[in-house]
Amino acid sequence: MLTSYHVHSCWSDGEGEMIEYVRAAGELGLSELGISDHYVLTPDRRRFPWNMPVNGVEQYVELVQTAAGEADESLIVRLGIEADYIPETADELRGILASQPFDYVIGSVHFVDGFPIDENAENWEALSQADRDVVIRGYWARIRELAETGMYDIAAHLDLTKKFGFSASVDLSSEISAALDAIASSGMSVEVSTAGWYATCAEQYPSASILRGCLDRDIPVLVTADAHSPANLDRGYKRAYRLIQEIGFTEVSSYAGRMRIPHRIAD
């Protein structure tokens, strides 16, 4: 069972049409492809360049279903979405997600009180170290809250605040533990994202120590590439599977109809 579930088409900030990803997944021999374009619902309905239209969820679903109809019989195409957790719009988002037949919902935090976590390094450079600590602490609080909503199936790129090489100067182990406890209680999976290896931090999301915390709590995982082009659907996968097996994971997750399906990792 080889899946690629964190995938962005040109409906948000990807470089290819959905059908291009479907064809590439078939050529790579993937078992399942999941399209999961960005959806960010802000209080002021701000449209980010990397976000699908705020009122475009129904059309997005139709596009994924159309692309799925072009897949070979050997490939299953899953309907996903990556939805940002923003406290002020969480209740409205819940209704939007419930109205569509998603196979899985990826939960992410890209903003902490308006600060863009992964936009560019300059944003982080402009902060004092004390302010960086506040943002990173706030990030883990948002992850905890995200899990507590019960709206999501997969936690996206945990540890994203390290993307540009910045880290906290204070001990945040209690905040991270609280977030992982909430993820465990929610029944969510955590993605092991290879995208971090190609960022300034040069480390997968999340770190090995956080992954060991997931294992200790029986939090399931799945490998993703956060692919923004068809060529990157399985980027870094062999290395990622070696990593999770070395840590002690024996299963990965897939999803259908918002239900998690465990699969034993082949030796």
Does residue 267 register a pLDDT over 80? no
Q: What confidence category does residue 46 fall into, taking pLDDT thresholds of 50, 70 and 90?
A: confident
- Into how many domains does the chain fold? 1
pLDDT of residue 108: 98
Q: Which two tokens stand for residue 228?
A: 């923004």
Q: Which domain holds residue 33?
A: 3-264
Three-class SS of the chain: CCEECCECCCCCCCCCCHHHHHHHHHHHCCCEEEECCEECCCCCCCCCCCCCCCCCHHHHHHHHHHHHCCCCCCCEEEEEEEEECCHHHHHHHHHHHHCCCCCEEEEECCEECCEECCCCHHHHHCCCHHHHHHHHHHHHHHHHHHHHHCCCCEECCCCHHHCCCCCCCCCCHHHHHHHHHHHHHHCCEEEEEHHHHHCCCCCCECCHHHHHHHHHCCCCEEEECCECCHHHCCCCHHHHHHHHHHHCCCEEEEEECCEEEEEECCC
Compute the average pLDDT of residues 129-140.
98
Q: What confidence category does residue 266 fall into, taking pLDDT thresholds of 50, 70 and 90?
A: confident
Compute the average pLDDT of residues 204-222.
98
pLDDT of residue 50: 86
Name the average pLDDT for the chain.
Answer: 97
Residue appearing with tokens 């699969």: 263
pLDDT of residue 209: 98
Residue 151 β-bridge partners: none
The CATH number linked to 16 is 3.20.20.140
Compute the average pLDDT of residues 254-265.
98
Strands 189-193 and 154-155: parallel
In the chain, % of residues over pLDDT 70: 100
b/e per residue 22-39 (b: at least 16 CB within 10 A):
bbbbbebebebbbbbbbb
Q: What confidence category does residue 99 fall into, taking pLDDT thresholds of 50, 70 and 90?
A: very high
Does residue 159 register a pLDDT over 80? yes
**What pLDDT, in 10s, does the model give residues 2-43?**
999 999 999 999 999 999 999 999 999 999 999 999 999 999
Strands 259-264 and 251-256: antiparallel
